[in-house]
Amino acid sequence: MPDHTRRPAEQTADEGEPLPPLAVEYERLRLEQLERLLQAPAARQLDLSIRRGRQLDRPVGVSLQGSVHQTSPFARTAAYKAEVQNLYHDMRDTLRDFMDTLLRGNKVDIAPVRKSVEQILQLFIEDPDIVLSLTRLKSPGEDYLFGHMLNTCAISISIAASAGYNREQVLTIGIGALLHDLGMPLVPREIREKTTRLTAREFSEIQKHPVMGILVLEKIRHLPDAVRYMLYQSHERENGSGYPQRRSSRLIHRYAKIIQIADVFEALASPRRHRAAYTPFESMEMLIRMTQRGLLSHHFAKAFLAYASLFPVGSIVELSDHRLGRVIRGNPTMFHRPLVSIVQTNAGKVLHETEIYQLDLAYDESIAIIRALPPDFIRGVDILHGF
Q: What is the pLDDT of residues 104-115, one digit of tens each?
A: 999 999 999 999
Q: What is the pTM assigned to this prediction?
A: 0.92
- Per residue in 236-256, pLDDT (tens digit) is 999 999 999 999 999 999 999
| Distance (Å, whole) CA 114 – CA 94 | 11
The reported pLDDT for the residue numbered 142 is 66
The reported pLDDT for the residue numbered 8 is 34
- Per residue in 161-200, pLDDT (tens digit) is 999 999 999 999 999 999 999 999 999 888 887 888 889 9
The reported pLDDT for the residue numbered 3 is 37
CATH 1.10.3210.10 matches 24-308: yes
The ranges assigned to domains in the chain are 24-308, 316-373
| Distance (Å, whole) CA 105 – CA 14 | 22
In degrees, to the nearest 5, what angle opens at C-alpha 113 toward C-alphas 112 and 115? Answer: 65
Q: Are 305 and 351 in contact (CB under 8 A)?
A: no
The reported pLDDT for the residue numbered 18 is 57
The reported pLDDT for the residue numbered 188 is 86
Measure the N-to-C terminal CA separation of the chain; round to a whole number of Å.
Answer: 25
Per-residue model confidence as pLDDT tens for the chain (387 residues): 333 333 333 333 344 455 666 777 888 888 888 899 999 999 999 999 998 888 789 999 999 999 999 898 888 999 999 999 999 999 999 999 999 999 999 999 999 999 999 999 999 999 999 999 999 887 666 678 889 999 999 999 999 999 999 999 999 999 999 999 999 999 988 888 788 888 999 999 999 999 999 999 999 999 999 999 999 999 999 999 999 999 999 999 999 999 999 999 999 999 887 788 899 999 999 999 999 999 999 999 999 999 999 999 999 999 999 999 999 999 999 999 999 999 999 999 999 999 999 999 999 999 999 999 988 899 888 889 999
| Distance (Å, whole) CA 293 – CA 266 | 19
SS3 326: strand
Q: In what order do the strands lie in the sheet with 369-373?
A: 357-360, 339-344, 324-329, 316-319, 369-373
Report the largest interatomic distance among the alpha carbons of the chain, rounded to a whole angstrom.
65
SS3 324: strand
The reported pLDDT for the residue numbered 144 is 81
Q: Nearest to residue 340, comparing CAs of 359, 353, 323?
A: 359
Find all residues with CB under 8 Å of 46, minimum gap 6, and list them: 53, 214, 228, 229, 232
